[in-house]
Amino acid sequence: MVVGALYAWPLGGDDVRRAAVARWSFDEAQREGLNVVAADKADVRVLPECRSGLWTHGKRTAKAVLLLHGYTDCTKQLAPFAEYLFAQGYNVYLPRAPRHGFTLGEADPGLTVAELDGWANDGMNVTAALGDETGVIGISGGAVLATWLTVRRPDAVNRLLVMSPFYRPASGKAPSFAVKPLTVLYGFAILPDRQLSGTGQTLHGLTQYLRISATLDDDAVNEHLKSVAVVVAAGDDQIDRDRAVELPTRLAEHNGAKSYDVELGGSFGHDIVEPVAPGIAETYPSYLQFYER
pTM: 0.95
Q: Give the whole-angstrom CA distance, residue 229 versus residue 161.
A: 5
Q: Where are the domains of the chain?
A: 2-292
**CATH top class, domain 2-292:** alpha beta
Residue ranges in the chain assigned as alpha helix (H):
2-8, 14-17, 26-42, 79-87, 113-128, 141-152, 176-187, 203-214, 241-254, 284-292
Which has the minimum average pLDDT: 17-31, 48-62, 250-264?
17-31
Around Cβ 275, how many Cβ atoms within 10 Å? 13
Identify the pLDDT of residue 289.
96
- Provide mean pLDDT across the span 79-106: 97
Share of the chain above pLDDT 90, in %: 85
Identify the pLDDT of residue 94.
98
Q: Give the whole-angstrom CA distance, residue 273 versus residue 268.
A: 9
| More confident call, 176 vs 157 | 157
Identify the pLDDT of residue 7.
57
Condensed to tens digits (0 to 9), the pLDDT of residues 141-153 reads 999 999 999 999 9
- Please report, for residues 137, 142, 161, 258, 280, the alpha-carbon distance to residue 291 in angstroms, rounded to integers and kept in the order given: 8, 15, 5, 10, 16
Mean model confidence pLDDT for the chain? 93
| CA end-to-end distance (rounded Å), the chain | 49
Identify the pLDDT of residue 191.
94
- Please report, for residues 3, 85, 246, 252, 293, the alpha-carbon distance to residue 286 in angstroms, rounded to integers and kept in the order given: 45, 12, 21, 20, 10
